[in-house]
Amino acid sequence: MTTSSYMPNGQADIATLLHALAEAADSRVFFATLCRALPTLFPHTRVDLLISDWSNGLCLPLVSDQGALPAPSDAGHNADAFAAWLADCGYAAVAMQPLNGAGRHLGWLVLARRTVPIDEGVQAFAGQIAAVTALRLLHEYWRDELALRDDTIAILERRLYEHEDMRLRATLAVGTAHDIGNLLASVVGHAQMMQREAPAELQPDLQTIIRAARDGNTLLRRLIALKSTGLATQEGQVVAMSSLVRDALALTRPFWDNRPDIEIQTEMPGLPPVRAHAADMREILVNLIINAISVMPSGGLLVISSRCEDNYGIIEVTDTGQGIPAEYQARIFQPLTSTKEGGHGLGLSVSRTLAESYGGTLTVESTPGEGAIFMLAVPLARPSEVALKEAWAPSTAHLTR
């Protein structure tokens, strides 16, 4: 058998193959056509495709002769090492045609024969096939890149739309907050007008209405300012813990006053004041009291107590509800997480953020079936700050109702 018997059948065969490859609809058709033609064009020849311009290198065996071993897993990394491996496997002749296209080198088309040399004519035909194969690989690469960019653009456009939607909602929320603030100011004004002529027994309720409206206005100003209180520590005011608890109970009275099955106790020994804004602390305590009442639908005991520990004033709100499962105790402080039916999951997350903005904490201890204890810890006021305030009057433990 002569060398010429291993040559392709002629230029017509190559031209027909190259035309078919150029017209291939996709890579599957391309390589199927190529693999069918190669044994005829290059008989008794092993043909491999080394794609080095790949994440981990890739070796694609296009045609294997009988008894051929599979290529090493890292064959795509190094063409010289692959050629040496072929020689070790008994291939006496190895020729490599570069996969070049659009100024990029993608790898090699490798021809290997055990006995017959690979002459220049075969290599020339292989070079033409390598050039077309390189263009196909680039086409697939660019198609994938375009698809990836289209996906990225779609994601960015969606995020931009969501951002614009959120910006619009925020603008509307700020405008609405401003209008609600005006309404609350009107509530305060009318309540003050009623105070002038209301009997003494109504004065505490009117004062509670005024305080609630002013606290609401404070919260709205925080929203309008678009300022997160959790980003920096606030200085606050000097405020007595007993007055905070008293005000919070007055504000939540509509939630428990008509519930004879709810017993409320306060244990507020005389303690130094803490450093925080009263409106923010009342917001936290109101959230904790309302939550505690809601988890006792059949009644129970609500205890509010205070103590000092390590330069912190601590207010504890204890209920006798069903308690909180251990897997939920960390999650309940995350935004939009609630264990209550119909809950929004914002009260505790906002309350913890407020506590932390003053250098404090808000934590929970609970045993399922035995209720829960929420602990609000806020730094005590400095002695120099206390000296500027009126002397605070200690109170003794008492039963509120």
Assign 365 to helix, strand or coil: strand
> The domain at 3-152 falls in which architecture?
2-Layer Sandwich (3.30)
Backbone torsions φ then ψ of 61, nearest 5 degrees: -75, 115
User: 188-221: b or e for each residue (b if 16 or more CB lie within 10 Å)?
Assistant: beebeeeeeeeeeeeeeebebbbbbbbbbbbbbe
Q: So what's the pLDDT on residue 54?
A: 52
CA 34, CA 47: separation in Å to the nearest integer? 11
Percent of the chain's residues with pLDDT above 70: 78
Amino acid symbol at 401: R
| pLDDT less than 70: residues of the chain | 1-12, 53-57, 65-69, 72-77, 170-175, 177-179, 181-182, 222-236, 336-346, 384-401
CB atoms inside a 10 Å sphere around CB 379: 17
CA 121, CA 154: separation in Å to the nearest integer? 50
In sequence order, the 6+-apart residues with CB closer than 8 A to the CB of 342 are none
Q: What is the pTM of this model?
A: 0.51
For residue 193 the two structure tokens come to 């007008």
For residue 385 the two structure tokens come to 């700050």
Amino acid symbol at 234: Q
The length of the chain is 401
In sequence order, the 6+-apart residues with CB closer than 8 A to the CB of 293 are 252, 255, 256, 259, 262, 302, 319
* 21 CB burial (10 A radius; 0-12, 13-18, 19+): buried
For residue 379 the two structure tokens come to 């730094």
Q: So what's the pLDDT on residue 1?
A: 35
Task: Please tell us whether the domain made up of 229-387 is placed in CATH 3.30.565.10.
Answer: yes
What is the location of CATH 3.30.565.10 in the chain? 229-387
In this structure, is the dihedral angle defined by the CA atoms of residues 204, 189, 215 and 260, taken in order, positive or negative?
positive
CA 49, CA 111: separation in Å to the nearest integer? 9
Q: So what's the pLDDT on residue 394?
A: 45
- Secondary structure (DSSP) of 151-187: HHHHHHHHHHHHHHHHHHHHHHHHHHHHHHHHHHHHH
For residue 261 the two structure tokens come to 């099955």
CA 95, CA 120: separation in Å to the nearest integer? 10
- Secondary structure (DSSP) of 323-344: ---GGGTTGGGSTT--SSTT--
The per-residue pLDDT of the chain, averaged, comes to 80
Read off the pLDDT of residues 95-104 as tens digits, 9 standing for 90 and up.
999 999 888 8
Read off the pLDDT of residues 296-314 as tens digits, 9 standing for 90 and up.
999 999 999 999 998 999 9
What is the location of CATH 3.30.450.40 in the chain? 3-152
